[in-house]
């Protein structure tokens, strides 16, 4: 019986994780859950799974929940609540299904407790990859990727020697605007950007997929996870999203991992690795899938992808600035404050205006994140 802490339990990854727990009641137990403010859904989850602790980031909502459920479980609030729950040494697997920079500090607490980290929250590796990887090595914590692309690469590398890897190929659906021209992107609506052709995901990552910043963040995530230079991290557009990523070896052989696009598979793998559980909920019938196609991404149209590669080159706090500016820009787009094509423009402004510094510890990450948010906040005042 593995005990799970699920940060972001009301989100797309969080709910898929909960579905898996429902399918394997003898294998997994939930001891902690967290949300931002969706206490209605959290209340249902508490009644079903009886966690010991929950965190509601919004303090007012935490009070409201307390009034509703009394003392049936410990209710914490704020970002310090997330840290406190992550420090409770009563779980085996930390599922980072929370979105954004806020996931970083609690993940570090779980690493210090030597827990298995099932990492969906790619922002954590983007902003503090070096710190996270060295902490995992220091404390002996396992970092298992949940992102389908990185899970695919992780699976392709099992039994292989790193010296034999020529390159990894991250596949990308291309999002809803794959076939739009650069000038057409100027007038796309929020609804169109949220209409991903293959995946049902939270709103932030769906917009990231539409700008292809999602693939850019994944390139940075892969850079840290697999210790490869950026020249060995390739991106291929694969509109069917059946091949989740590939590894090319020195003899020219390519290994790929395939399935129907459903995040329950990489989540389950991250929970059960090195074992696999019998699971019949996600079927893949390649005869029905038909053709699989692959082509080069258009870096001039999807500027965000280009900026992510450049941020690896620049190093230091550049990935952190890129991430913070992207989080703010996506939020502004979703609120109708900026156009879709202004997302990369805002990110570039932040990268130009904020001086780069070396990342030495968590404080330097927080500083870069804070400066970026302050700059963009001023621009909207």
> Is-contact 169 234, C-beta < 8 A?
yes
Question: Segment near ligand NAP (CB under 6 A), from 68-76, 196-204, 226-234, 334-342?
Answer: 196-204
> Is-contact 223 129, C-beta < 8 A?
yes
Show the site string, 98-127: x = touches ligand NAP by CB under 6 A, - = not.
Answer: xxx-x-----------------xxxx----
Give Cβ neighbours of residue 39 (< 8 Å, ≥ 6 apart). Answer: 56, 61, 62, 64, 65, 68
125 vs 223: CA distance, rounded Å: 9
State the minimum distance, in angstroms, from the CB of residue 373 to ligand NAP: 12
Helices and strands (DSSP H and E) totals, the chain: 16, 11
Residues binding ligand NAP: number (CB under 6 A): 29
Q: Which position's Cβ is nearest ligand NAP?
A: 11
Give yes or no for residue 147 binding ligand NAP (CB under 6 A).
Answer: yes
Q: Name the residue nearer to ligand NAP (CB basis): 349 or 366.
A: 366
Figure out which of the listed residues 20, 205, 343, 346 binds ligand NAP, where binding follows CB under 6 A: 205
State the minimum distance, in angstroms, from the CB of residue 107 to ligand NAP: 11
Give yes or no for residue 8 binding ligand NAP (CB under 6 A).
Answer: yes
Q: Name the residue nearer to ligand NAP (CB basis): 9 or 372.
A: 9
Q: What is the DSSP string of 229-274?
A: -GGGEEEEE-TT--EEEEEEETTS-EEEEE--S-THHHHHHHHHTT
Q: Name the residue nearer to ligand NAP (CB basis): 13 or 325.
A: 13
Cite the beta strand spans of the chain per DSSP E.
2-7, 28-35, 53-56, 74-77, 93-96, 116-119, 143-145, 165-172, 233-237, 243-249, 254-258
State the minimum distance, in angstroms, from the CB of residue 197 to ligand NAP: 13
Q: What is the DSSP string of 327-343?
A: HHHHHHHHTTSS-TTHH
Q: Which residues, 169 to 188, sit near ligand NAP by CB under 6 A?
A: none
Q: Name the residue nearer to ligand NAP (CB basis): 145 or 344.
A: 145
Q: What spatial distance separates the first Cα and last Cα of the chain, rounded to whole Å?
A: 51
State the minimum distance, in angstroms, from the CB of residue 253 to ligand NAP: 27
Figure out which of the listed residues 4, 5, 76, 97 binds ligand NAP, where binding follows CB under 6 A: 97
Q: Which residues, 220 to 249, sit near ligand NAP by CB under 6 A?
A: none
317 vs 381: CA distance, rounded Å: 25
Give yes or no for residue 38 binding ligand NAP (CB under 6 A).
Answer: yes
Q: Which residues, 339 to 368, sit near ligand NAP by CB under 6 A?
A: none
Figure out which of the listed residues 76, 263, 318, 375 binds ligand NAP, where binding follows CB under 6 A: 263
Give Cβ neighbours of residue 324 (< 8 Å, ≥ 6 apart). Answer: 101, 127, 350, 368, 369, 372, 373, 376
> Is-contact 150 125, C-beta < 8 A?
no
Question: Segment near ligand NAP (CB under 6 A), from 6-14, 126-134, 160-168, 285-293?
Answer: 6-14
Question: Segment near ligand NAP (CB under 6 A), from 12-20, 189-197, 352-360, 365-373?
Answer: 12-20
Give yes or no for residue 10 binding ligand NAP (CB under 6 A).
Answer: yes
| Strands ordered across the beta sheet of 233-237 | 233-237, 165-172, 243-249, 254-258
DSSP code, position 72: S
Figure out which of the listed residues 21, 30, 32, 36 binds ligand NAP, where binding follows CB under 6 A: 36
Closest by CA to 89, choosing from 62, 109, 74, 108, is 109
> Is-contact 151 127, C-beta < 8 A?
no
State the minimum distance, in angstroms, from the CB of residue 188 to ligand NAP: 20
Give yes or no for residue 371 binding ligand NAP (CB under 6 A).
Answer: no
Q: Which residues, 57 to 86, sit near ligand NAP by CB under 6 A?
A: 57
Figure out which of the listed residues 12, 171, 272, 323 binds ligand NAP, where binding follows CB under 6 A: 12
Give yes or no for residue 257 binding ligand NAP (CB under 6 A).
Answer: no
Q: Can you give the binding site for ligand NAP, defined by CB under 6 A?
A: 8-14, 35-38, 57, 97-100, 102, 120-123, 147, 199, 201-205, 263
């Amino acid at each position: 019986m593995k005990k799970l802490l699920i940060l972001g339990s009301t989100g797309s990854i969080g709910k898929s994780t909960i579905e898996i727990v429902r399918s394997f009641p003898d294998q997994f137990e939930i001891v902690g859950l967290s949300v931002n403010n969706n206490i209605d859904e959290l209340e249902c989850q508490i009644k079903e799974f009886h966690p010991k602790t929950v965190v509601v980031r919004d303090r007012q909502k935490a009070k409201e929940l307390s009034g509703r459920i009394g003392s049936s479980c410990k209710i914490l609030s704020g970002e310090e609540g997330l840290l406190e729950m992550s420090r409770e040494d009563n779980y085996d697997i930390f599922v980072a299904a929370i979105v954004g920079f806020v996931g970083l500090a609690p993940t570090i607490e779980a690493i210090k407790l030597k827990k298995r980290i099932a990492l969906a929250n790619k922002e954590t590796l983007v902003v503090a990859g070096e710190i996270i990887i060295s902490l995992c090595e220091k404390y002996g914590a396992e970092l298992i990727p949940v992102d389908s692309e990185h899970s695919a690469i992780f699976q392709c590398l099992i039994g292989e020697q790193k010296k034999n890897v020529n390159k990894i190929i991250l596949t990308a659906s291309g999002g809803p605007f794959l076939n739009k021209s650069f000038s057409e992107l100027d007038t796309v609506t929020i609804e169109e950007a949220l209409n991903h052709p293959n995946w049902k995901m939270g709103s932030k990552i769906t917009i990231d997929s539409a700008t292809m910043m999602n693939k850019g963040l994944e390139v940075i995530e892969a850079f840290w996870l697999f210790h490869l230079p950026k020249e060995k991290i390739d991106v291929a557009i694969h509109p069917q999203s059946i091949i989740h990523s590939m590894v090319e070896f020195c003899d020219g052989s390519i290994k790929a991992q395939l399935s129907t696009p459903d995040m329950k598979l990489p989540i389950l793998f991250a929970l059960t690795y090195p074992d696999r559980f019998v699971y019949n909920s996600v079927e893949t019938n390649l005869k029905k899938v038909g053709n699989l196609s692959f082509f080069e991404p258009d870096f001039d149209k999807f500027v965000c992808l280009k900026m992510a590669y450049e941020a690896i080159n620049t190093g230091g706090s550049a990935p952190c600035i890129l991430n913070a500016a992207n989080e703010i820009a996506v939020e502004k787009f979703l609120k109708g404050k900026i156009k879709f094509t202004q997302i990369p423009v805002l990110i570039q402004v932040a990268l130009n205006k904020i001086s780069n510094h070396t990342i030495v510890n968590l404080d330097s990450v927080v500083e870069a994140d804070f400066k970026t948010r302050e700059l963009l906040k001023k621009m909207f005042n």
